[in-house]
A = this chain, B = another copy of it.
Amino acid sequence: MKIGIIGSGAVGQTLGAKLVELGHDVVLGTRDPQKLDEKKNMAASLKDWLAAVKNKAKVVTFKEAAVHGEMLISCTHGQISVEALKLAEADKVGPKVLIDTANELDASQGMPPRALASQDRSVSENIQKAFPNLKVVKSLNTIGAPVMVNPKAVHNGDHTIFVSGNDAEAKAKVTDLLKSFGWSDVLDLGDLSSARGPEMYMALWLRLWGATKTGMINIKVQR
């Protein structure tokens, strides 16, 4: 499948590399594709990333990524996700499925960062409101990037990932993609307003990270 990733930090790079490995036609969208040598926050330079994926993907602009993908994945920080999608002119790409992986985290007051989501605020709903043409599905925001693409690395994969969205078919497509990553327990939380749940959960995740001293964690919904 043609996949356009919006955002070239640790999450975009990790998802992109896995998607290349799975044989997808991936482009990684970034603000300035000329800056291949720039070290990315918590991630490799894009030059090193291209080498790691054996040049089987391309680094492009946000806009080129939005045009390329049959499916889009938003991997920017939550505070700038809508802005990045505006730069991508995502309003002009039709009814594409967009996976929103973002959280709004604020580290300006020290660690752990503050999770800004609330019952009145989610990144996913902000994106959906700004881009009614897209079929937004919230997922992947509840784990660190290495766990996203390798769930078996934590407790042999026995834990849960969530999807939220208004379009059942879009959620089914995202669920299939998650299963191709190795996810076995994909739980549909409901319409996109349910994205507030996993976004607010980040406040707990950050404390679990502190308490367990590892990001290689996730929760299993026992029922």
Seen from chain A, the residues whose Cβ lies within 8 Å of a Cβ on chain B are 114-119, 154-155, 158-160, 164, 187-190, 194, 196-198, 200-201, 203-208, 210-212, 214, 216-223
Contact = CB atoms under 8 A, between A and B. Distances in A.
A71 to B, nearest CB: 23
Given A189-B204, A197-B208, 14 more contacts: A187-B212, A188-B211, A189-B208, A197-B203, A197-B206, A197-B207, A200-B203, A201-B204, A217-B221, A219-B219, A219-B220, A219-B221, A219-B222, A220-B220
B208 A203 contact: no
30 contacts: A114-B119, A117-B200, A118-B118, A119-B203, A154-B222, A154-B223, A159-B220, A159-B222, A164-B207, A187-B208, A187-B211, A187-B212, A188-B211, A189-B208, A194-B210, A196-B203, A197-B204, A198-B204, A200-B201, A200-B203, A201-B204, A208-B221, A212-B221, A214-B223, A216-B223, A217-B221, A217-B222, A219-B219, A219-B220, A220-B220
A183 to B, nearest CB: 13
A217 B211 contact: no
A114 B122 CA distance: 13
Contacts of A214: 223
B221 A207 contact: no
Given A118-B118, A119-B114, A221-B219, A189 B201 contact: no
A223 B155 contact: yes
A206 B217 CA distance: 22
Contacts of A216: 223
Contacts of A220: 159, 219-220, 222
